[in-house]
Structure 1
């Protein structure tokens, strides 16, 4: 809608994070949780999540963090927190089947074209 576009002071397109950006987001999100992921596993996750937004990565990390709890099931009631296993790479692999990117490549093409037409080159 042209009227809406006129009311927007700045039109800024923020692209999806690249592999180093996704790695940084994953590290940041996992930083406050007990996990057993090693550097190469995190790097592989960053590569497997091409097309994921920051929000998608947050949902992925939340879902993966539930893996140890799902595994315990009803036993969680009687399990001390210190006995819950850390988040593992396999939790992320399982979550990748459930949490998909929210932006399609077709939509990214549209947004890139929109940015070329309407986007601001300066912030």
Structure 2
């Protein structure tokens, strides 16, 4: 479900991260997982908007992704080497390198999203399936 909802969005999640998220969301509906992923996709935007410091990094050129450039700016901690005090409004749009979605983004979103299905509902569905389920 997580891979499906992430689609082609750049992220740094590993297979182990996805498995951990699956364990942590047992009992969540597909819609619940969709909400978690959608919120986590906004986390990099929030990082950019709330950043007080940016640093120069290397990445693909905004005009030609096949060319690497070393003058892009990405949000960072004030203590990072090369950190420059500025807000996202000070960063030229063609120089902004947004962070990719990472595991901490997912966990932050998971912490604020509760499942809409409870254990009692799951038992009712299981009983219904046992009583009226389709035969293969």
Aligned to 2:100: 86
Per-residue deviation, 1:115: 3.8
Aligned pairs (5 A) from 1:23-62: 25-62=1-38
Pick aligned residue for 2:114 from 90, 94, 100: 100
Moved more, 72-81 or 97-106: 72-81
Note the residue ranges of structure 1 that are not aligned, 5 or more in a row.
Answer: 1-24
Unaligned runs of 5+ in 2: 51-87
Structure with greater Cα Rg: 2
Q: Match of 2:37, SS?
A: helix
TM-score, length of structure 2 as denominator length: 0.62
Q: Name the structure where helix makes up a greater proportion of residues.
A: 1
With structure 1 as the length reference, what TM-score do the two structures score? Answer: 0.67
Q: Which has the higher contact order (CA 8 A, sep 6+)?
A: 1
Q: Deviations over 1:65-114 (max 9, x none)?
A: 11111112262795458611100000011011111111000111123334
Q: Which has the higher strand share?
A: 2
Q: For residues 106 and 26 of structure 1, do their structure 2 counterparts lie closer, same or farther at Cα, with a shift above 3 Å needed? A: same
Are the structure 2 counterparts of residues 56 and 84 from structure 1 closer, same or farther at C-alpha, using a change threshold of 3 Å?
Answer: same
